[in-house]
């Protein structure tokens, strides 16, 4: 089990290293695409499909599609804020807005 975690950690570190190399080389489009590689999404969908079946996976994928605008809000906030604020504050602001909008979305969906 711990070897499995080590392999996953190394794979994640390798992806981050490639993103940093691409960014330093001025390949921002490639770095931006790699940042969005859906590794966690892919693993989550795989385990949902294998443990709960294709119908439950279909429901989760649909919920992911419906909540995509919330992710776009996060990206939009970071994009605008990083021009005016320190990048750490911009990221924190983006996550905060994502959490607020996501919470409102869940309140609306589950009411």
The one-digit pLDDT tens for each residue of the chain (111 residues) are 577 778 878 888 888 899 999 999 999 999 988 888 887 788 889 989 999 999 999 999 999 999 999 999 999 999 999 999 999 999 999 999 999 999 999 999 888
> 88-101 burial, b if ≥16 CB within 10 A, otherwise e?
eebbebbeebbeeb
pLDDT for the residue 91: 97
Please classify residue 61 by burial: count the beta carbons closer than 10 Å to its beta carbon, then call 0-12 exposed, 13-18 middle and 19+ buried. Answer: middle
pLDDT for the residue 110: 86
pLDDT for the residue 43: 83
Whether pTM > 0.85 for this model: the answer is no
pLDDT for the residue 89: 98
């Amino acid at each position: 089990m711990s070897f499995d975690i080590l392999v996953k950690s190394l794979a994640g570190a390798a992806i981050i290293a490639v993103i940093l190399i691409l960014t330093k080389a001025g390949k921002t489009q490639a770095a931006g695409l790699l940042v969005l590689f859906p590794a966690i999404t892919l693993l989550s969908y795989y385990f949902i499909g294998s443990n709960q079946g294709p119908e439950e996976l279909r429901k989760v994928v649909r919920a992911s599609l419906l909540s995509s605008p919330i992710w776009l809000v996060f990206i939009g906030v970071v994009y605008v804020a990083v021009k005016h604020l320190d990048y750490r504050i911009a990221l924190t602001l983006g996550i905060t807005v994502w959490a607020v909008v996501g919470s409102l979305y869940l309140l609306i969906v589950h009411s």
